[in-house]
A and B are shown apart, each in its own frame.
Chain A
Amino acid sequence: MSAASQDVATRNSIFVRAIIYVVLILFAIYYLLPLYVMVVNSLKPLDEIRQGNMLALPKQWTIAPWLSAWSTAQIGVQPVGLKPYFINSVLMVVPAVALSTILGALNGYVLTKWRFKGDNIVFGLMLLACFIPFQIVLIPSARILGLTGLAGTITGLVLIHAIYGLGFTTLFFRNYYEAFPTELVRAAQIDGASFFQIFRRILLPSSGPIIVVTVIWQFTNIWNDFLFGSSFSGFNSIPLTVALNNLVNSSTGVKEYNVHFAGAILAALPTLIVYIVSGRYFVRGLMAGAVKG
């Protein structure tokens, strides 16, 4: 980011600046507090949470809640921990992200470099599809999955996520390729390159950033999804978010807060790691998704 408006700042008094720093730091605490609470309490025995103070550091450190959340906690009727659901999520996310990203890239390529009559209408309809409330497609989707025998399968979830991600992936690539010089495509045409050769040899090598942005966006969205997961998953395909909710909101038994927190962090970990490793691209994706790039 350039520091365009920063010149305004030069004439603030020390007092004002002190207030600004205090406010900024207070907000940092506000944003960090829930994470702190989760981490600290996931490392305490249950008694210490009930009797002690949620903000205090553990007196007795333990990783038992983590182990329990991972492999033994009672979820639904099974004491298997979050592990199988974590695997479900991975099996769901990877193909769904790959599929929607590849199709989005090809769509963006066609919509910018091989324009045809009505291409704007096609794009407009795909763009609008990004914003529909998914409640409106739940019933027919369930029906289609049922009719095709994909209800309750990971494959079904992959398809649903890939399809409803298409709008965004197309949007990302279209906006990116829009700025890609069309003259390069023309030069390649004169050099005799075919439709796919142009894509593979000319556009794709320059698409690194947008691929990263799109993959992160799709990964975050699909990993964090709850609605489709809770609506369409079956016994063997429940994704992690749904399992976590089942763990936390099960009405039976003792509420093992420490296990809940450990589970919540486990569920958040993949996206958090992606965010920490590639925050710049994550923010770019958010912006592109929000302000249409």
Chain B
Amino acid sequence: MSFLKISNLYKNYGQVEILKDINIEIDKGGFLVLVGPSGCGKSTLLNTIAGLEPITSGEIAINGKSVAGLHPSKRDIAMVFQSYALYPNMTVAGNIAFGMEIRGVPKDERDKAIKQVSDILQIGHLLDRKPSQLSGGQRQRVAMGRALVRDPQVFLFDEPLSNLDAKLRVDMRTEIKRLHQRMKTTIVYVTHDQIEAMTLASKIAVLKDGILQQFGTPAEIYNSPANMFVADFMGSPAMNLLNCRLEGGAGSSLSVILDRPGDQPLALPIKLANGALGAYAGKEIIFGVRPEALTDPDGADRNAKSIAEGECLIEVVEPAGSDTFAVTKLGGKEVVARLRADAAIHAGQKTKLAFNLDKAVFFDPKSQLRIA
């Protein structure tokens, strides 16, 4: 049975619909990431789970019980805020213990809990300091400590890493993951960073304009995006989404036809086409291929069942150390290919690129939904 269940949730501010018909559920111990561009409603959704904002209709249930009308402090949740929201006038220990103090927990019990949490997070030496005397990473730890000490049923994280610098963010990400593996508490985590979403989540919910675009495991979201928005939003560099024409008889041998500047159109034969795609034969569709599925022929995935090759004019080469990215133009758009770091390639050169069509996805240009 699902531990956190959000069903048919709507939220309006006056006339504006902020969240529309959200349905999400996650098992006990799961790690749910809400991801989307700013303004998509993900933080609002988190706040409604916390009880910090009222919902217009629908239901939120934690552990089988509806939390409607329950004060945030009665929902058995803990929250880590983007700005950490540490009480500036209290010490680190005071911050961690404030909730217990309000609930009337005796001092010695509070001290024990503080000790335990500060050991886990290695902030024991900071307990007497004020938040203003802490670094960003330390504040982050204290904020997590304040949440941990509640030992809640659900942790809520609101973009907790976005105020940290790049390196610290990666470290803290790992730490959160480790913490989750150790505590096994259910987590709901909001971020706009799709890498955070991919690395942390057991389930991802992609939101845009208050509408749930797709809900699934990271692999599902990454490999089988429900629509062009999800395809484009998840993954970096983003998936190449190219206008192409689908040619061939019904079912038999379909080919993707891509325009090339100063050359014949490129035809990529699809071996494993399914029926849904067949219905689009002879029509314009969107062909989606991730940069890592577009490589130099030697670097192509040897386990792939369907690989097509084509000559492309390389316009820009961007060595990134671990890989080399090459930009070419297909179907009237710039296309990024991910080559091996030492691939011998120059701008202005024509070279063969390998398309891993196992990983290719196709979208209806009108509805923007995935066909296959």
Do A and B touch each other in the complex, judged by CB within 8 A? yes
B99 touches A192 (CB 8 A): yes
B81 touches A188 (CB 8 A): no
Q: At the interface, yes or no: A189 with Cβ under 8 Å from chain B?
A: yes
From A186, A202, A206, contact of B79 by CB (8 A): A186
Q: Give the distance in Å from the alpha carbon of A82 to the alpha carbon of B85 in the complex.
A: 52
Q: What A residues does B79 contact at CB under 8 A?
A: 186-187, 190
Take A186-B52, A190-B72, A197-B102 as given contacts and tell me if A181 and B77 are in contact as well, using a CB distance cutoff of 8 Å: no
Q: At the interface, yes or no: B280 with Cβ under 8 Å from chain A?
A: no
Q: Give the distance in Å from the alpha carbon of A33 to the alpha carbon of B242 in the complex.
A: 80
A187 touches B71 (CB 8 A): no
Q: What A residues does B78 contact at CB under 8 A?
A: 190
Q: Give the distance in Å from the alpha carbon of A190 to the alpha carbon of B153 in the complex.
A: 13
Q: Give the distance in Å from the alpha carbon of A68 to the alpha carbon of B77 in the complex.
A: 70
Q: What B residues does A205 contact at CB under 8 A?
A: 88-89
Q: Within residues 73 to 89 of chain B, which ones have a CB less than 8 A from any CB in chain A?
A: 73-74, 77-79, 81-83, 85-89
Contact with B along A164-203 (1 / 0, CB 8 A): 0000000000000000010110111111110001000110
Q: What A residues does B201 contact at CB under 8 A?
A: none
Q: What B residues does A192 contact at CB under 8 A?
A: 71, 73-74, 99, 102-103
A187 touches B146 (CB 8 A): yes
Q: At the interface, yes or no: B98 with Cβ under 8 Å from chain A?
A: yes
Q: Give the distance in Å from the alpha carbon of A183 to the alpha carbon of B53 in the complex.
A: 13
From A181, A183, A193, A206, contact of B98 by CB (8 A): A193
From A183, A193, A197, A201, contact of B85 by CB (8 A): A183
Would you give the shortest CB distance from B113 to chain A, in whole angstroms? Answer: 13
B81 touches A186 (CB 8 A): yes
Q: Give the distance in Å from the alpha carbon of A51 to the alpha carbon of B126 in the complex.
A: 73
Q: Give the distance in Å from the alpha carbon of A205 to the alpha carbon of B146 in the complex.
A: 20
Q: At the interface, yes or no: B50 with Cβ under 8 Å from chain A?
A: yes
Q: Give the distance in Å from the alpha carbon of A27 to the alpha carbon of B330 in the complex.
A: 74
Take A186-B50, A202-B87 as given contacts and tell me if A191 and B82 are in contact as well, using a CB distance cutoff of 8 Å: no
Q: Give the distance in Å from the alpha carbon of A197 to the alpha carbon of B87 in the complex.
A: 13
Q: Give the distance in Å from the alpha carbon of A192 to the alpha carbon of B89 in the complex.
A: 18
Q: Mostly helix, strand, loop or mixed at chain A's interface? A: helix
Contact with A along B35-52 (1 / 0, CB 8 A): 000000000000100101
Q: Give the distance in Å from the alpha carbon of A206 to the alpha carbon of B86 in the complex.
A: 12
* Residue of B with least CB distance to A208: B89
Q: Give the distance in Å from the alpha carbon of A211 to the alpha carbon of B291 in the complex.
A: 58
B103 touches A181 (CB 8 A): no
B77 touches A188 (CB 8 A): no
A181, A184, A186, A193: residue with the most chain B Cβ atoms closer than 10 Å: A186
B85 touches A187 (CB 8 A): yes
Q: What A residues does B72 contact at CB under 8 A?
A: 186, 189-190
* Residue of B with least CB distance to A192: B73
A191 touches B102 (CB 8 A): yes
Q: Give the distance in Å from the alpha carbon of A11 to the alpha carbon of B74 in the complex.
A: 66
From A183, A184, A189, A201, contact of B71 by CB (8 A): A189
B85 touches A184 (CB 8 A): yes
From A181, A188, A190, contact of B50 by CB (8 A): A190
A183 touches B82 (CB 8 A): yes
From A181, A184, A189, A206, contact of B73 by CB (8 A): A189
Would you give the shortest CB distance from A119 to chain B, in whole angstroms? Answer: 13
Q: Give the distance in Å from the alpha carbon of A102 to the alpha carbon of B120 in the complex.
A: 42
Q: Give the distance in Å from the alpha carbon of A82 to the alpha carbon of B319 in the complex.
A: 85
Q: Give the distance in Å from the alpha carbon of A187 to the alpha carbon of B98 in the complex.
A: 10
Contact with A along B116-148 (1 / 0, CB 8 A): 000000000000000000000000000000100
Q: Give the distance in Å from the alpha carbon of A206 to the alpha carbon of B74 in the complex.
A: 27
B89 touches A206 (CB 8 A): yes
Q: Give the distance in Å from the alpha carbon of A26 to the alpha carbon of B14 in the complex.
A: 60
Q: Give the distance in Å from the alpha carbon of A187 to the alpha carbon of B149 in the complex.
A: 14
A190 touches B102 (CB 8 A): no
Q: Give the distance in Å from the alpha carbon of A191 to the alpha carbon of B99 in the complex.
A: 4
Q: What A residues does B85 contact at CB under 8 A?
A: 181, 183-184, 186-187
* Residue of B with least CB distance to A204: B89
Q: Give the distance in Å from the alpha carbon of A192 to the alpha carbon of B100 in the complex.
A: 9
Take A190-B99, A192-B103 as given contacts and tell me if A183 and B83 are in contact as well, using a CB distance cutoff of 8 Å: yes
Beyond the given A189-B73, A190-B52, A201-B98, could you list 11 further A-B residue pairs with CB under 8 A, ordered by the A residue number? A183-B85, A187-B85, A190-B77, A190-B79, A191-B73, A192-B73, A192-B99, A192-B103, A193-B73, A193-B98, A202-B89
The 5 closest A-B pairs by CB, nearest first: A192-B73, A191-B99, A205-B89, A183-B85, A187-B85
- A selection of 18 A-B contacts at a CB cut-off of 8 Å is A183-B82, A183-B83, A184-B86, A184-B88, A186-B85, A187-B146, A189-B72, A190-B78, A190-B99, A191-B99, A191-B102, A192-B71, A192-B102, A193-B102, A197-B102, A205-B88, A206-B88, A206-B89
